A and B are shown apart, each in its own frame.
Chain A
Amino acid sequence: MYILQYIIVGLIALGAIVYLLKKYAFPAKDQGCGDGDCGCH
């Protein structure tokens, strides 16, 4: 159970890091405004 929790945490942490890198280090070139995600946050 403990190992399973470690695996889950590892995957979540990897997802979080990838998301942040994608958002800030390699942002999408065309960020449109008005469709809910204008990159404001």
Chain B
Amino acid sequence: MGKSINVALIGNPNTGKTSLFNRLTGLNQKVGNYPGITVEKKEGICKLSPRLKAHILDLPGTYSLNTSSLDESVVVETLLNRNSKDFPDVAVVISDVENLKRNLLLFTQIKDLEIPSILVINMADRMQRKAITLDIDLLEEELNTRVVLVSARKNQGIDQLKKAIIEYKSLNTKPCVNASSIDPEYFDNLKKAYPKQSIYKLWLVITQDVNFGKIDRNRDLENLKQASFEVKSENDLKKLQHQETVVRYQFINGLLKKALNVDQSQAKDLRSRLDRILLHKVWGYLIFFAILLLIFQAIYDWSSYPMDWIDSAFAKASSWAQTTLPAGPFTDLLAEGIIPGLGGIVIFIPQIAILFLFIAILEESGYMSRVVFLMDHIMKKFGLSGKSVVPLVSGTACAIPAVMATRNIEDWKERLVTILVVPFTTCSARLPVYLIIIGLVIPEGSVLGGFLSYQALTLMGLYLLGFGTAIFSAWVLNRVLPIKRKAFFVMEMPAYKVPMGKNVLITVVEKTKSFVLGAGKIIMAISIVLWLLASHGIGEKFTNADELVRAEYAGQSLSEDELNDKIASQKLEYSFIGYIGKGIEPAVRPLGYDWKIGIAIVSSFAAREVFVGTLATIYSVGSDEEETIKNRMRAEVNPILGGPLFNFASGISLLLFYAFAMQCMSTLAIVKRETNSWKWPAIQFTAMTVIAYFAALAAYQLLS
């Protein structure tokens, strides 16, 4: 009877591990569960030679030995427990030729456990098509291992792999990365406490919360305490794990720089061809710019009809409530507060849905990852790494998840700078403000034969202004707070694919619903409070407005409608909100705004999108006319200069104010939570408000 050895197949998900398992075992395989857990256990037999057969265990896919799931902990447990019947005599680590950098992280960890290991580079049949060349000798030398090129799909290299497994005893078990360099003193003491153990195994036992590890870890920690050994806190251990990953990637980057060559210009597959164009240092940016233009043009072109329809439907609903329901304060609240306030957000559903439709398509197709890659080149020039790109790009939806996304930036200062600049990127809450103001003050003409409207160009300009301000601020902050750069940025480029309609639809519906429901609740609450303040007041000029106005204009031949407008205007001016607005007015007057806009700005400090709803509510109070929000705003007259209140100068001033101002209390709360201090949100709020105020002031004074 021949000898049997244990072979563990280990690798990242989607590296073709199961295909290789099937090639090696054929039909000699069985599928069960690991004892006590629901993780699938696949094992099989492979006859290596007449005298040697291999018991092959297909372990669950894992990205590293820093486990986060039960599946992954099974891998670590198998590799640590020398007493287990499944403990491998040889570990076959499978990698994908196109993702070697990421795959080698796992290999270096397994190698450091001093288990005989073979590196299998799968999908080798793609090398020619993708113009990939590998220096196998150098890889073998630097990794102290055997490297076998395989194509499990095309049944190539399987015999060489079997031969390498047969010769497993000749494999060098020396670690290839010195992980103890992250804290030499700590690891020296660890080695002294356990001189017979593999240092990396000890490290894994201490840091992993796997079932097997827990038992050993408790015992080990008890022993270490007795030996007066420094027991690190969980936080310190996590920091060391991060440092270990950095050290490993530095080693892998250095190795692949010498051993791997991808000549993109010679690659013949579709993905490479597309990447050659989309990631090109000139064409890449031009195409991205063209896509942005298309998105913003579509936002205007496709949404005008549904927007007009929604606007007029809300105006009709308000008028219907006023004329049909019994007269009284509730009817007034409904007609002048709730319906116009809600109309101020519902009107933007078409445009927000179109924006998210494009974002979902770009993400689903795999293009968004290319944008992040392109932006990484720009970010580096401003002192940030590619890791800051993801928060900045996701900031176009909302700053809250963007601030939270900075958690994957290891360097604290770089993370802080990213947190501080993220709110400059144009979030979806700014969109309603931009759209209504642009619609009022930017002419409807177009360029490029009618393809690009001035309004779409202005909107795109505001998005670019937000992103540009964010990276410029990062550059400034980088000078003030020196950032230690990390040398690597690892990002996996997904394959291009046709976006799935269902996925795109779900994203659009979910994002739009979240925006409307989330914003809708606040807008409704603020509209109610505003209406209350706008329709109540003290003093004779408010309570006797009717008599006073009629007496004042008794000698003039004004129509009843004109008189009603004058009465409504006086009541609003002497209502509670009128007093508050007049108090604010001196501060906002130099920016070209009246007290009503001042109220809208103050109320939108809670959330930017409240701006339109506030104006809609204020302009509706006392008005019986069936009028749309846009028309009401257009009809507003500057009380001092005369002429439209929303003109080019005041409009640009408002757009700049909202582009720069930190008007989102939720973002400030999240920044406080993420920085664990009120200092940074206070600095952020003050700096952004000051920048916004002076930018708006300069714009109005120059343009008016």
- Taking Cβ atoms with an 8 Å cutoff, the residues of A that contact B are 1-2, 5-6, 8-9, 12-13, 15-17, 19-20, 23-24, 27, 31, 33-34, 36-41
Contact = CB atoms under 8 A, between A and B. Distances in A.
A13 B332 CA distance: 13
A33 B671 CA distance: 14
- Range of interface residues on chain B? 35 or more
Contacts of B665: 24
Given A1-B326, A5-B328, A8-B330, A38 B525 contact: no
Contacts of A34: 401
Contacts of B525: 15-17, 19-20, 23
A41 B529 contact: no
Given A6-B329, A8-B330, A39-B666, 5 more contacts: A5-B331, A9-B333, A31-B669, A36-B513, A36-B514
Contacts of A8: 330
A16 B514 contact: no
A8 B328 CA distance: 11
Interface string B631-664: 0000000000000000000000000000000001
B400 interface: yes
B521 interface: yes
Contacts of A31: 400, 666, 669-670
Contacts of B148: none
Contacts of B609: 41
Contacts of A16: 524-526, 528-529
15 contacts: A5-B329, A9-B329, A9-B333, A9-B532, A12-B528, A20-B525, A27-B669, A31-B670, A33-B401, A33-B404, A36-B513, A38-B401, A39-B400, A40-B429, A41-B522
Interface in B507-561: 510, 513-515, 517-519, 521-522, 524-526, 528-529, 532
Nearest to B333: A9
Given A12-B333, A36-B514, A41-B609, A20 B526 contact: yes
A9 B514 CA distance: 27
A39 B515 CA distance: 11
A20 B527 CA distance: 11
B443 to A, nearest CB: 31
A20 B331 CA distance: 23
A6 B515 CA distance: 31
Contacts of B670: 31, 39
How would you classify the secondary structure of chain A's contact residues: helix, strand, loop or mixed? helix
A40 B666 contact: yes
B398 interface: yes
Contacts of B518: 36-37, 40-41
B521 A19 contact: yes
Contact of A17 (B401, B510, B521, B529): B529
Contacts of A20: 522, 525-526, 529, 606
Contacts of A9: 329-330, 333, 532
B333 A23 contact: no
Report the 5 A-B pairs with minimum CB-CB distance, sorted nearest first: A5-B328, A41-B518, A5-B330, A16-B525, A16-B528
Contacts of A33: 400-401, 404
Nearest to B428: A40
B193 to A, nearest CB: 39
B330 A13 contact: no
Contacts of A13: 528-529, 532
B339 interface: no
A4 to B, nearest CB: 8
Contacts of A19: 521, 525
Interface in B556-612: 606-607, 609
Nearest to B429: A41
A15 B401 CA distance: 28
Contacts of A24: 606, 665
B669 A39 contact: yes
Given A17-B529, A20-B526, A33-B401, A41 B519 contact: yes
B328 A1 contact: yes
Contacts of B522: 20, 23, 41
Nearest to B609: A41
Interface in B323-371: 326, 328-331, 333
A17 B524 CA distance: 11
A41 to B, nearest CB: 4
Q: Considering residues B525, B532, B670, which has the most beta carbons from chain A within 10 angstroms of its beta carbon? A: B525
Nearest to B523: A41
A26 to B, nearest CB: 11
A5 B332 CA distance: 10
Contacts of B666: 27, 31, 39-41
B168 to A, nearest CB: 46
Interface string B195-215: 000000000000000000000
B330 to A, nearest CB: 4
A20 B670 CA distance: 17
A34 B665 CA distance: 19
A41 B333 contact: no
Contact of A41 (B328, B329, B401, B515): B515
